Amino acid sequence: MVDKSRELILTLGFADDGKHTEETLPKRIYATINSSVFVLNQIFSRYNYLESLVLDYEDWKIKQDGPVEPGKVSIDIGYERRNLIVASAWDIVDWADRLRKVFGGIAGIKKKEKWYSLARDALQEVSDIRNFIQHYDKEIYSFVKGSYPLMGAVFACFPHQGQGFHTRLIVSTPLKSAYHKEVNIFGMPNPQKVRPPVDCIRFSIADNVVDLSELNRKLLEATEELKTELKRRYGFDWPQN
């Protein structure tokens, strides 16, 4: 058992004599705004990491098999970092769910603003997936009945310079139970537009799917609105990490 009786108290000084945000903001506003900023930055950092993993996979796959024609879909269960890619998608889902909870208690700014509705709508699909996995013991029948990959899969679309795109599907392993001869994967993307260098990075588990690229775009848009509002209202400078 961890001993909780011992407490460490740090007394921190400042490098200058100027006004600091915590001196000009009420404590609740200071705490909730900085918590929201921290979680948002984690989501953006982890999406960038996932995108880099997917691009590395694309480079590796082209070296192995050559270029892919537009409209084609390739499926991979043998790439050595397949589970890392899927786990990184899970990481974004976890942080996005934290953001939903933190946003619920944010103080000092109006939730009727555009940034809040953008973020709320983007986070709803993530909430559905988190609710699903939080009740995994009750939902295990979904995997058995539907023959889904046990911990999910990641789709990604890559645009071609001329026209069209191709799709990669990276599946977590174990792929299926010994009782199934086939695997079903929900949420195949069919976008009207694919942004370079990679887009429509979707995380699919059972019959739930969330477009992480779209989530990232909407949160970035919401963040720009929020930055402007915090700067105008409190003189708040957004930290980079």
Q: Which domain holds residue 160?
A: 25-234
In this structure, of 73-82, 102-111, 200-209, the range with the lowest mean pLDDT score is 102-111
State residue 18's pLDDT score. 42
Q: Residue 15 falls within a domain, yes or no?
A: no
Residue 6 pLDDT grade (very low, low, confident, very high; cuts 50, 70, 90):
low
Q: Residue 12 falls within a domain, yes or no?
A: no
Between CA 184 and CA 176 the distance in angstroms is 10
Q: Residue 71 falls within a domain, yes or no?
A: yes
State residue 106's pLDDT score. 84
Q: E strands, the chain, where?
A: 73-76, 153-159, 165-171, 199-205, 208-211
153-159 sheet: strands from edge to edge: 73-76, 165-171, 153-159, 199-205, 208-211
Q: Residue 90 falls within a domain, yes or no?
A: yes
Q: Is the dihedral of CA 175, 180, 186, 189 positive or negative?
A: positive
Mean pLDDT of 14-19: 45
In this structure, of 65-79, 85-99, 121-135, 150-164, the range with the lowest mean pLDDT score is 121-135
By C-alpha distance, which of 239, 235, 240 is closest to 29?
Answer: 235
Peptide bond into 67 cis (omega under 30): no
Q: Residue 17 falls within a domain, yes or no?
A: no
Look at residue 147 and tell me whether its pLDDT is greater than 50: yes
Q: Residue 239 falls within a domain, yes or no?
A: no
Q: Residue 109 falls within a domain, yes or no?
A: yes
Q: Residue 143 falls within a domain, yes or no?
A: yes
Structure tokens at 128: 């559905």
By C-alpha distance, which of 101, 106, 150, 151 is closest to 127?
Answer: 101
Count of other CB atoms within 10 angstroms of residue 2: 4
- At residue 180's C-alpha, the angle toward residues 177 and 182, to 5°, is 115
CB contact at 8 A, 81 and 123: no
Mean pLDDT of 122-129: 84
State residue 16's pLDDT score. 46
Between CA 159 and CA 70 the distance in angstroms is 8
Buried b (16+ CB within 10 A) or exposed e, 75-87: ebbebeebebbbb
Between CA 68 and CA 217 the distance in angstroms is 27
Proportion of the chain above pLDDT 70, given as a percent? 81
What pTM, to 2 d.p., does this model score? 0.86
Q: What is the mean pLDDT of the chain?
A: 84
Q: Is the dihedral of CA 64, 65, 71, 72 positive or negative?
A: negative
H/E run at residue 66: none
Proportion of the chain above pLDDT 90, given as a percent? 42
Between CA 167 and CA 204 the distance in angstroms is 14
Residue 14 pLDDT grade (very low, low, confident, very high; cuts 50, 70, 90):
very low
Number of domains in the chain: 1
